[in-house]
Structure 1
Amino acid sequence: MRTARRSVTVLTALGTLAGAALVGATPAGAAPQWTGIAPGVTYRQYDVPAAAGVAHVHLLRADLSDAHVRLGLLRPGAVAARDTVSHMAGRQKAVAGVNGDFFNISEAQHPGVAPTGASVGPAIADGRILKGAVPDAQRFGPALPPGTHTTAVLGVGADGRAHLDDLPPTGSVVAAGQRLPLGGLNQYALPENGVGAYTPAWGSASRVRATCGSDTERAAPCSADTYEVTVRHGRVVSASARPGSGAIAAGTTVLVGREAGARRLRALAGGARVSLRYARTSARRAVYRFARGGYPVLSGGQPLPGLDTRASAVRTAVGLADDGRTVYLVALGGAPSYRRGLTIAEVARLLAGLGATEGFSLDGGGSSTLVARPSGAAPVTVRNHPSDGSERPVANGIGVFTR
């Protein structure tokens, strides 16, 4: 997030909302018991009173100081695709996990344009950057807290600890003796006048959506000035006036431009040499094995200024404690009696009550899902009763892995 404090560790805290007795980590009555999922990974559930009524909390705790425990990106196989948390966790052999980032879920404002299912923020898996962040105005989800941006991430660095960071776009295209800034990587929306790169990791979804909306309004019309260039093994092999679709072959990158970006791509002749660079320079200057988007809600044990105190909903969030060595993954129950949920301000205080110093909000509502395997069993099961009545396919998730 681009604030005066460029480095923030990821955590979400929660406690007492003005006018509501929010208990935080210790509900009224007997203290909830932790259940072992795997060495270094535990689970519990309990009720907390909140402004809109009682909420039911499902909580995972992962001890990253244990060399056998790690976090990783749950993903559906392509950036522009969706899958359920339980299926992704099962396929990747995670012992537990939650849903992840907000994503391109609908396109009612752009007739004829299908939603891609791609996530809002950056994503890194196994040390490889998969995608960048869409412009702030193009995101899905509740309003961002003041001073935060879609480039905010929760990541685990080479030090094995979890951190909150910021991953702004830092890429370029060098062609015909000119260096052009790269405005995006595998994103469902590009900045106006920008050029974005699409790799085989994107999948087969149409790239038309990348040229829709504007830097100030997600529902703005699609651009009428677009161009697409296919680069294979460093040379331009084809071009089109309209972004295409279909799987991208290995060794191939598709460049999509809008407005000024489209005009620059039109200047590239067939056979022209093109080189691409997309870095993962972070505000913390850290190298991440895993990272994914969302937005921060807690810093230094205190809720960020301007968090919403009125809209209650089912939520998913992450809290970091012990200097990033302990990670709390929280998803609220979505059964009918608990669907009112918590406000974002309450979520921040809940995590603070757990001892988290940093906090991060993930996608919520019908996307909120927490899975964990019974101790000693192989398959994970859904623990929190998703509010849609069944699991919603999502863009990605956070998996807890043991080895």
Structure 2
Amino acid sequence: MLHRFIDIFAKRRKGFIPLLLAFLLALSSMCSASAQEVLLYNEKDVFPVTGGATYEGITLFTSLGWQKIHLLKVDLTSENIELDVINGTQGLSQRQSLSKIVTENGAIAGINGDFFIMATPSSPIGIQVSQGKLVSSPGNRSDMAAFGLTFDKIPQILRLQFYGQVVAPNGNTSEIAGINKIGAGYEKIYVYTPDFGKTTPTIPTSIPSLTFAVCRDDQIISIQEGKTIDIPEDGYILAARGAGGEFLKNNFTSGDPVTLNLNINPDISNLKMALGGGAVLVENGQIPASFSHDIPGTNPRTAIGFTQDKKTMILAVVDGRQNESRGMTQREMAELMRNHGASFALNLDGGGSSTMVTRPFYEKEPKVINSVSGGVQRLISNAIGIFAKAPKGNVHGLKIVANSFNIPKSGHRSFEVQAYDQNYNLIDINQEDVKWSVSDNIGAFDKNMLIAQNSGYGKVTATYNDIQATCDIYVLQEAAALSISPDKVHIAPGENKDLEVFVTDVKGFKAPLETVDIQWQVVGDIGSITGNRLTASNQTAAGAVIASFGDLKTSAILQVGLNDKALDDSHFYNIRAEIARSLNYPVLPSLIVDKSNKPVTGNGLTFGVFGNLHYSVPYNSIYEKTLNLAAANMNKYKPKMNVIAGSVFAGAKVDDLALQNTLKNYKAAGNGYGVLWEDDATFIFLDASKGSIRLTNYNQWIRLQQDLEKAPVNRTMFLVLDRAPENFTDPLEKELLNKILAKYAKDKKLDIWMLHGGADRFNAKVENGVHSISIPGVNAKEPAACVFNIQGGN
């Protein structure tokens, strides 16, 4: 087609909209990888970005590891939604981070776009059309396709070819190699517009100077030679050397008219936006047997697609090259897009470029929502931006916000609401007009401040006019310990540092304290505290701040000054010891006492627990004494069995008769998955001998969740592991195990105990309602054994 170049000076429309509300869902299946990959667990985080656009964050835990998927689903029929290809304000040649591109253009969300030249100045490989204006020509590569969106918001997958000519007044012509592209030798003519940036690319000294024709209003202003030249804000530059440069010098003089014939096939005159990409991943619901442009390996990925009816657009980013997400192959990415409804999909630039930005409605600026490879956003050439057009309306909904929805018993919690209209635009309201209430006699409100009176779960309700919102809260049990974060502070004189104080209850649940609940004491000439903010003194000093809540105390150690030195833990230990001597107070974090421990009565189910156990070697005297004492106690209560939470090495005969009887009937972890249903308790034996549960045998995760699901309400459950979850090679797997156990402890009121060997010393703790017991073994510094007695399953 003949595309008049004057269209390149059209202006881009801008807009913004906030987003809203996240929640977790348990999904039944969403694993898009190969047949060998088995889904073990998943969760989904969903919130509306604006009217017509929704974010979905999907976390998959599979037999191959972790996968993190980010989706933006856009309703193309929504009058509120507008999309465009966007660049940084310095032009497409000056690469910018996606977050800066989105913010500068007033978009509410976006993903990275086309492949590009990894240099500065840069240019995209393929086409760019923004607001109906041709910004960059197609790359004329048969292996790479493009995405287009018409002015009626009809999406398309395109395979484009470009041909252009410069026509001189005498009728002579010369080929245009590209528009706003980094030239390959510059033997043909390149066109540079203000969309490229302020100047043309500076060519290397090894290449002869270029001929530049400066154009304004389709007229030659001047012809010059050099390595680079400024691009006029209301014009464009024709640049070439060799045959192209000779054409410009021999066929034009200042004042001559210039004609640009720009032909793109198929016709793009109906496109509002277009973006180059790589291979077509899905076409008419089919994934090709091979990809025209194949990027091998398991990598971060970005893709764009749309449904068969062309009413929904799907923008996807998959994290990769990190423990949190392994990434995908290109075929897996195609399967992902098809599984999420894309009948057509195009691969975009991936790897370190894969980035998604969106704005939670409670934040003022868009933010990166995925985990970029390498931890730093790559600077990119262009992006796809999502804009919201609708103006603010009336209040349509409310979201309750608070520092935490866990609240200490006898403590306070301040609540607010954020109001939004039907398109999730934030609406300012008078917070004093909101009425607050709480269920289940949990506490009472004084305006927006809840005073927690009784332990348990409840609901807070906010009412504004006739609109209501609710949120779940939990008032902790009896407070057991306080902690300060950070508990060691190295601060320059006169600087400020915010401290946060937490309460942990007897069940291991944690909640931050409001400033109204904290009593502060400053020890030493280190400064002062207002609210939770520490202001350091103007001189070098060491000391502590002590926080009190009820009868509990905790402290943070401070060093003011000495900022030219790197201070290790021993420095702060010495400060703590000196303060403890001067105050006759330990200045140590308070410890949680697990009050589930009670004297053994002899009734119910009794069993012993050992750490790793060796038969074949002589025991040291301390451990042998420990074993014999444990055996005597266990045999007194006639244990039905004994548990080895660690490794078992059998061999030599055990001479002690009591110990023989004790060890005759044992169950051990580390030998595959096993389950034992007793009248008073259920025992689940797990094997993490290869570093984690998944790495040893991923099927254990499936069976564990099945057994927890079928456990009766109020059941006592023991999970026996051959290593502590803290020692898993995958820390995310540890976090998942803790999360799942805490969920079942809450939802089914299960009394869950984790028993694991491999410890140096005996340790017992409780966290989020789940007990954890570390049992030392034969080689430990302080060997020990345990006796458990279960009364009626509790």
TM-score range, shorter chain: 0.7 to 0.9
How far did 1:337 drift?
Answer: 0.7
2:16 matched to 1:21?
Answer: no
C-alpha RMSD of the superposition: 2.9
**Contact kept in structure 1, 2:128 and 2:273, CA below 8 Å:** yes
Q: What letter is aligned with 2:190?
A: G
Partners of 2:214 and 2:295 in 1: how far apart?
48
For residue 188 of structure 1, the aligned residue among 182, 192, 195 is 182
Question: Larger deviation: 235-244 or 336-345?
Answer: 235-244
2:307 matched to 1:321?
Answer: yes
Partners of 1:391 and 1:163 in 2: how far apart?
29
Partners of 1:325 and 1:222 in 2: how far apart?
51
How far did 1:68 drift?
Answer: 1.3
Work out the number of aligned pairs and report it: 354
Q: Which residue of 2 aligns with 1:7?
A: none
2:97 matched to 1:73?
Answer: no
SS at match of 2:323: helix
Identify the structure with the greater helix proportion. 2
Partners of 1:156 and 1:355 in 2: how far apart?
18
How far did 1:377 drift?
Answer: 4.8
Cα distance change of structure 1 residues 223 and 378 upon mapping to structure 2, 3 Å threshold = same
How far did 1:203 drift?
Answer: 1.0
Q: Which residue of 2 aligns with 1:148?
A: 143
**Contact kept in structure 2, 1:229 and 1:238, CA below 8 Å:** yes
How far did 1:231 drift?
Answer: 2.7
**Contact kept in structure 1, 2:212 and 2:229, CA below 8 Å:** no
**Contact kept in structure 2, 1:50 and 1:342, CA below 8 Å:** no
Partners of 1:304 and 1:283 in 2: how far apart?
22
Task: Give the TM-score, by structure 2 length.
Answer: 0.41
2:375 matched to 1:389?
Answer: yes
**Contact kept in structure 2, 1:169 and 1:182, CA below 8 Å:** no
Partners of 2:195 and 2:311 in 1: how far apart?
30
How far did 1:62 drift?
Answer: 0.6
Q: What letter is aligned with 1:88?
A: I
Q: What letter is aligned with 2:79?
A: A
Q: Which residue of 2 aligns with 1:287?
A: 270
Q: Which residue of 1 aligns with 2:229?
A: 245
**Contact kept in structure 1, 2:162 and 2:265, CA below 8 Å:** no
SS at match of 1:61: strand
Cα distance change of structure 1 residues 89 and 44 upon mapping to structure 2, 3 Å threshold = same
How far did 1:189 drift?
Answer: 2.6
Q: Which runs of 5+ in 2 are unaligned?
A: 1-30, 390-794
Q: Which residue of 1 aligns with 2:150?
A: 157
Partners of 1:62 and 1:260 in 2: how far apart?
48
Partners of 2:200 and 2:223 in 1: how far apart?
15
Partners of 1:228 and 1:159 in 2: how far apart?
39
SS at match of 1:306: coil
Partners of 2:227 and 2:64 in 1: how far apart?
46
Taking every aligned residue pair, what percent have the same amino acid on both sides?
25
**Contact kept in structure 2, 1:227 and 1:241, CA below 8 Å:** yes
Q: Answer 1 or 2: higher relative contact order, Cα 8 Å, separation at least 6.
A: 1
> 1:56-71 to 2 correspondence within 5 Å?
56-71=68-83
For residue 341 of structure 1, the aligned residue among 327, 346, 363 is 327
* Structure 1 residues 213-270: Cα deviation after superposition (integer angstroms, max 9, x where no partner): xxxxxxxx97658533223344434334444133x11343211124432332231342
> Which of structures 1 and 2 has the bigger CA Rg?
2
Partners of 2:226 and 2:326 in 1: how far apart?
44
Partners of 2:267 and 2:254 in 1: how far apart?
39
2:243 matched to 1:266?
Answer: no
Q: Which residue of 1 aligns with 2:342?
A: 356
Partners of 1:363 and 1:285 in 2: how far apart?
22
Q: Which residue of 2 aligns with 1:131?
A: 136
* Structure 1 residues 76-108: Cα deviation after superposition (integer angstroms, max 9, x where no partner): 0212112221222222222211111111113xx
Q: Which runs of 5+ in 1 are unaligned?
A: 1-13, 107-114, 137-146, 213-220
Q: Which residue of 2 aligns with 1:111?
A: none
Partners of 1:284 and 1:50 in 2: how far apart?
45
How far did 1:31 drift?
Answer: 5.9
Task: Give the TM-score, by structure 1 length.
Answer: 0.78
SS at match of 1:261: helix
**Contact kept in structure 2, 1:228 and 1:243, CA below 8 Å:** no
**Contact kept in structure 2, 1:174 and 1:274, CA below 8 Å:** no
For residue 202 of structure 1, the aligned residue among 191, 196, 200 is 196
How far did 1:39 drift?
Answer: 1.1
For residue 400 of structure 1, the aligned residue among 386, 403, 409 is 386
Question: Larger deviation: 27-36 or 93-102?
Answer: 27-36
Q: What letter is aligned with 2:347?
A: S
Cα distance change of structure 1 residues 376 and 268 upon mapping to structure 2, 3 Å threshold = same
SS at match of 1:59: strand
Cα distance change of structure 1 residues 28 and 42 upon mapping to structure 2, 3 Å threshold = farther
For residue 91 of structure 1, the aligned residue among 104, 128, 134 is 104
**Contact kept in structure 2, 1:116 and 1:205, CA below 8 Å:** no
2:172 matched to 1:178?
Answer: yes
Q: Which residue of 2 aligns with 1:229?
A: 213
